[in-house]
Structure 1
Amino acid sequence: MIQTKSISLITFKNTEAVEVNFTLDKKTYKPLSKNGKISGRQRLLLTFEKGKIRKTIIEYIPADTFMGDIKELNSGNFKSKQFDGEVSFKNPKDNYTMVWVLSKGVANKKLKRTSSITK
């Protein structure tokens, strides 16, 4: 069960979407950079398509060299903020995660991760 942690949310112009903080089992998860020194961010993106709400868990995992403010990143601006690191997208019902590896906001690689294999 997913519960919202607070009233904090982001809405996007001309898009039927909302990004919110959330917890899983009353726990907040913060992904870390590979060296474990920089905290990332996890959010729940709710999009409205054909009368249905689609849920996507988004993680912003900074590169060890990321110098920006992770709190400013969201699904509407990570490219313009020139984010360095990984952005992952997961539907809570799926057994895989889509991952974009970004350098200065440009996706250099797109991966599909499962619990056992990364393609």
Structure 2
Amino acid sequence: MSEDDYEWIPIDARLYAISFRTSSLEEITYSLLNERICRKMRIDLFTKRLNLGYIPLVVEPKRQSYILDDEDVFVYLTSVDKKERRSILHVEDIEELKIVQITEQLSRVKKEKLI
């Protein structure tokens, strides 16, 4: 293997593909990408938070770049190397979001006012 060759072995041994039918890459937003990934992987969008990243093929030294907003999504989608290859998108389920009932939040605010 040369220094440009990488072997990526996912933990769960599954790879996914997502297709967007748009006329422009600018139409693919961070929230749309996040939603499609969750739907594809059967992840509840309202209880999980994803961490999106990739290792750019055109940047030296090789290190992970994170996707945090629409601009990062556009850069990821338009970045290719000399052989027109795109980096693999790495998706991490980083935490479970806690859902707190709105009634619990209101009652806590009322208690704080009483003190």
- Scaled by the length of structure 2, what TM-score is found? 0.27
Higher strand share: 1
Higher helix share: 2
- Scaled by the length of structure 1, what TM-score is found? 0.26
